[in-house]
Copies of this chain bind each other. A is one copy, B any other.
Amino acid sequence: MSARNLLRLTLVARRSASTASASQLGFIGLGNMGASMATNLAKAGHQVRVFDVSRAAIDAVVAGSEGRASAASSANEVVPGASAVVTMLPSSKEVTQIYSGSDGLLAASKGNGTLFIDSTTGEPGVCEKIAEEAQQAGAVYIDAPVSGGVVAAKNAQLTFMCGGPKSAFDIAAPLLAAMGKKSIHCGDKVGSGEAAKICNNMLLAVSMLGTCEAMALGKHLGLNPNNLAEVLNASSGRCWSSEVYNPVPGVVPGVPSSRDYDGGFLCALMLKDLRLAQSAAAQNQVSTVMGGLACQIYSLMCAHGLAAKDFSVFYKFLQDQQNKSN
């Protein structure tokens, strides 16, 4: 970040801080996650101009905002007057389309030092490119993908993983606090948030699949699943998947395994993140033997009609035949 951009940003920050309850923001991307995030920003007292390709999505957010959200008729229209703009898009492809070029968001910010906070889950390399373009356009761009699903978004309980200069992170933090419970600064390099997220999700997939196999093996060896979970959680096999989100129905109340794997973090979304990880690994010449197999397993489960089931459904998939006969 150049000294000039940093100065602009600091001025913006002071302005925001002095008028915290009335800062002007932009928000683009009002899907399941984005709509809740924009609503939470409005609830926290901010004025938010919102845009989505679906007019109905815009209207719904505006209607639920107690007068603090207003409709924009294009993505670029949310920029003028906004100290910060949050984007929540389907993938890196849309990020490039909306931010980049002479008709993009960065150009629309006209060198006013706007802070762009991108919560899209995407490729670290794309974030780096947009950040460079932002700097040339007199704007600041950081990545801030989230962990936690639709329910966490609604309840402002998301975790944000952020990449970019610490100074920019510090300015973004109060806004993120209106949408989540925690923000982690993952690195000064833009894209570090995305990088941390795909590493986390790759490890999550591997440990979930391992947990499913360990629980299935234990069951076939005659162990009671609750006993086995207790042993694992007191031992070196302990992981988030065994403790908090156990894939065996009945071991942990309220998680997707206990409602036939409906809802939760869908196999299709895990597959998407694993493919981002595989792509990042290939570009950076890293071997990920277990992560690669995890990616194939989720691909196979999606081919078997489980794309819309929770990612812990591998426990059931492993033992498909037995379930049919029981």
Tell me how far the C-beta of A140 lies from the nearest C-beta in chain B, rounded to whole angstroms. Answer: 19
**Any B CB within 8 A of the CB of A319:** yes
Contact between chains at A202 and B195 (CB < 8 Å):
no
Partner of A159, one of B227, B235, B242, B286: B235
A281 CB–B CB distance under 8 Å: yes
Say whether chain A's binding surface is mostly helix, strand, loop, or mixed. Answer: helix
- Inside 8 A of A220's CB, which chain B residues have their CB? 281, 284-286
With A286-B318, A296-B287 known to touch, is A207 a contact of B239 (CB < 8 Å)? Answer: yes
- On chain B, the residues within 8 Å of A295 by CB distance are 292
Question: Which of A13-21, A111-119, A209-217 lies at the interface with chain B?
Answer: A209-217
**Known contacts A147-B235, A213-B291: does B285 contact A302 (CB below 8 Å)?**
yes
Q: With a CB–CB cut-off of 8 A, which chain B residues contact A211?
A: 203
Contacting pair A199 B218 (CB below 8 A): yes
Do the beta carbons of A217 and B288 come within 8 Å of each other?
yes
Q: Is A278 an interface residue (CB 8 A)?
A: yes
Q: Is the CB of B195 within 8 A of A222?
A: yes
User: Which single residue of chain B is at the shortest CB-CB distance from A307?
Assistant: B321
CB distance from A147 to the nearest CB of B (A): 5
Question: Which positions 290-305 of chain A face chain B at CB distance < 8 Å?
Answer: 290-297, 299-300, 302-305
A70 neighbours in B (Cβ, 8 Å): none
Which residues of chain B have C-beta atoms less than 8 A from A285's C-beta? 220, 299, 302-303
Name A223-241 residues within 8 Å CB distance of B: 223-224, 227-228, 230-232, 234-241
- A186 touching B228, Cβ below 8 Å: yes
Q: Is A44 an interface residue (CB 8 A)?
A: no
Measured CB to CB, the nearest residue on chain B to A282 is B275
Give min CB distance, A295 to chain B, whole Å.
7
Query: Binary interface profile of A, 45-76, with partner B (CB < 8 Å = 1, else 0)?
Result: 00000000000000000000000000000000
Q: Does A6 contact B (CB under 8 A)?
A: no
Q: Give Cα distance in the complex from A196 to B293, angstroms.
A: 24
Distance in Å: Cβ of A23 to nearest Cβ of chain B: 28
In the complex, which residues of chain B have a beta carbon less than 8 angstroms from the beta carbon of A200?
Answer: 214, 231-232, 235-237
Given contacts A213-B287, A220-B284, 4 further A-B contacts (CB under 8 A): A187-B224, A202-B210, A209-B290, A286-B318
Q: What are some 10 contacts across the A-B interface (CB < 8 A)?
A: A147-B235, A192-B222, A199-B214, A200-B232, A201-B237, A203-B214, A206-B213, A221-B284, A235-B240, A288-B296
Q: Which residues of A contact B (CB under 8 A)?
A: 124, 147, 159, 161, 182, 184-187, 189, 191-192, 195-196, 198-207, 209-211, 213-218, 220-224, 227-228, 230-232, 234-242, 244-245, 275, 277-282, 284-297, 299-300, 302-305, 318-322, 324
